[in-house]
Structure 1
């Protein structure tokens, strides 16, 4: 599989190698050891959710406070969605930056968001289905929202038809700058420390997964 860092630092886009024959197609969506070797990130799934969406439904921009944090691995298993990743880590070199991916099942593209990101998408088809795999369970009171139409962010939602925001909480969410003022956003330094603790724990329990030739595997080493 091809794994590349996105325009948002520490987030990754994953493109699998698709094997096709007369029966159809097959691909690996996630391989733990390869993912960690390339990204230096550690991802241990504990919960999987699905959302089914009408055309032009917009879900986002959603994040989770740190602690507990919540990394996620997102794919589209039916239909198509325009997926947006937003860096909301205060102090990050890419704070307020975003990257966009077209997710559809035929290509199998996935996106990985570490702790400290906000995520959203707009459904491009009726009955789209999105899979979210998380490394922490849902904990009431820890999610937060950012206004998906914040003019300072200028997120590239499709303009051919007006997106439909289903949840009132999204329409009422603060702008990114206001969320920073309110102190609800994670700090970049705390996220880096969290990534490092995860990786140290992983390597202490799985020495065979050490990554030779990758001295900058820790997110904190990018400073």
Structure 2
């Protein structure tokens, strides 16, 4: 298993090693010890979710109040998606930037994103099945969204006409959420010290 940091601090791409023969294949899709070593803190999850989406569906950009925040571990177990991490942390050097990673049922890659980061994805195939683990359980009053088509974010969605939920269509843009003080603070995210994950306190030693 190879775990590499993405350009946005607090996000990692996980590339598992697959073992294949005439019977099929086997892989370790999650190793908490390896992930914890890469992000330099213990990682635990409290809830697992699964969604299916038709091609062209875009879900997100979703984020949670921080603290407590919600870290996520995302993989695509069927089909293909374009997974997007958005830096919504006020004061972050990469605030407002995004990064996309293709997740599918061939390479079996995953993405881990720490508390304070926004998450979204676009289904690139019909019946795209996404499974993700969350460090905290669902609380609707702490869950929020930024419009995925906000020109301020300028996410380069790989579909001409994204299909959105009513919630995401009604979501405000980044500047509106920022103006009303609804975004996580970068310093707060980096200071999270609970055992449910979070952003490391600084760069790796050496």
Tell me which interval the TM-score lies in, with the shorter structure as reference length. Answer: over 0.9
Tell me the SS of whatever aligns to 1:37.
helix
Give the structure-2-normalised TM-score: 0.93
Structure ID, larger Rg: 1
CA contact (8 A) 2:67 2:189 kept: no
Q: Which moved more, 1:38-47 or 1:63-72?
A: 38-47
* Matching residue of 1:206: none
User: How far apart, CA to CA, are the structure 2 residues paired with 1:182 and 1:140?
Assistant: 19
CA RMSD of aligned residues (A): 1.7
The answer to whether the aligner puts 1:198 opposite 2:194 as a matched pair is yes
* Matching residue of 2:163: 164
More helix by share: 1
Give the structure-1-normalised TM-score: 0.86
How far did residue 124 of structure 1 move?
0.8
- 1:188-214 Cα offsets, whole Å, 9 max, x none, are 1110111xx125x99xxxxxxxxxxxx
| Unaligned segments of structure 1, at least 5 residues | 203-217
Q: For 2:184, which of 183, 186, 196 is the aligned residue?
A: 186
CA contact (8 A) 1:83 1:102 kept: yes
* Matching residue of 1:150: 150
| Unaligned segments of structure 2, at least 5 residues | none
CA contact (8 A) 1:7 1:97 kept: no
- 1:106-158 Cα offsets, whole Å, 9 max, x none, are 21100001000111111111111100101110012101100111112110101
Q: 1:155 to 1:41 in 2, by over 3 A?
A: farther
How far did residue 9 of structure 1 move?
0.8
Tell me the SS of whatever aligns to 2:201.
helix
Tell me the SS of whatever aligns to 1:35.
helix
CA contact (8 A) 1:62 1:118 kept: yes
The answer to whether the aligner puts 1:222 opposite 2:203 as a matched pair is yes
